[in-house]
Amino acid sequence: MVVDLLANPRGESILSFDDYQNLPLVELTERIRAAREILGRRLLILGHHYQKDDVITFADLRGDSLRLSQQAAAAKGVEYLIFCGVHFMAETADILTDDSVSVILPDMAAGCSMADMADIDQVEACWEELSEVVDVSEYTPITYINSTAALKAFCGEHEGTVCTSGNADRVLSWAFKKRPRVLFFPDQHLGRNTAKRMGIPLDEMTVWDPRRPLGGNDIETIKRARVLLWRGHCSVHQMFTTAHVDYFRKRDPEIKILVHPECPMEVVDQADIIGSTESIINTVEKAPVGSKWAIGTELHLVNRLKSENPNKEIHFLSSMVCMCATMYRIDLPHLCWAIENLVQGHVVNEIKVPPQVREWALVALDRMLNLSAVRD
């Protein structure tokens, strides 16, 4: 049946997407494998670490969003790139890859709640408000990679850049050598945790709430602040609390607490190790046999680390289910639908960043990549 579908001479889709949702797991798996074999090296599938196991199985490459986009940009002979992640990740891939590559997001509803907490209109309004009370030439705008292409373009156009959870300290150091102040969006926790570790006092940071005049601050607070933190957060990492840390500390004094820097400051302050997604993976993989870990990051990743490191004791830090709900939208029915459409000559759910936005966003990304390539 798979062969008949893929060889349809009229190039028409026999199944609607709703039909794919009703297919059994075994058939979906078989159809995806068959379609991939037909497309060969023309197709590259990227899988973010937070993806479900049945999806990540089909990934040619797995990693965090920026690393995957960089690897995709370096791949040769690729015509189609399916990004099993969320919208901003597919945008970054489109920015970094050649125009001849079609970047596809299997489900357009796979967004990012953090990225949605700051849009270009809000950031431009913030910049305009700031210009009325301070000299905005003193600010370097920095956007976390978890943001829209439009925000990356804003930073590119205003002498700013992008950061990841792994290089935020290096990027902030670079910014402070240029100018005395930073506007950091959209994740307040990553900005606060990074700046605090660099020795910046909390009273020299303040949160900007885009829904309130002057971000909810008075003029003196704005003038005193070296770091303006956008009122945004990750819905997954926001869920971890000091009570979760206390529970594991009391349960087993030997356990190590390992958390992502998107967690609230109180949790990060109590952790033994703070690290990006890649850092968390590397830390666990290199840890001694028999070591014990309570990890504060996305549930699918923690469970995968547990299954891939059976000689270590690994726990999910929270007692609640903390998974990336939007990432969860990418599933086998969406993946199968997207791939079989490619076989039939249809590119569905293509992510295309407008040329001017792409140009300035690439400037911001290149600044970060050049900075990351520098070693002191």
Write out pLDDT tens, residues 143-178: 999 999 999 999 999 999 999 998 999 999 999 999
Same domain, 160 and 84: no
Q: How many CB atoms lie within 10 A of CB 247?
A: 16
Average confidence (pLDDT) over 208-214 = 96
Same domain, 62 and 154: no
In a domain, 50, yes or no: yes
**pLDDT band at residue 309 under the 50/70/90 scheme:** very high
SS3 of 185, please?
Answer: strand
Same domain, 146 and 80: no
Same domain, 229 and 138: yes
Whether the full predicted model's pTM is greater than 0.85, yes or no, is: yes
Same domain, 24 and 105: yes
Same domain, 212 and 266: no
Same domain, 6 and 109: yes
In a domain, 278, yes or no: yes
Query: Whose CA is closest to 313, among 251, 236, 271, 268?
Result: 251
Q: What is the pLDDT of residues 332-375, one digit of tens each?
A: 999 999 999 999 999 999 999 999 999 999 999 999 988 865 43
In a domain, 321, yes or no: no
In a domain, 353, yes or no: no
Same domain, 222 and 191: yes
The side-by-side arrangement of strands in the sheet containing 273-274 is 273-274, 256-259, 292-296, 313-316
Q: Are 14 and 5 in contact (CB under 8 A)?
A: yes
Same domain, 223 and 124: yes
For the chain, give percent helix, strand, coil, nearest 5.
50, 15, 35
| 272: containing domain | 237-316
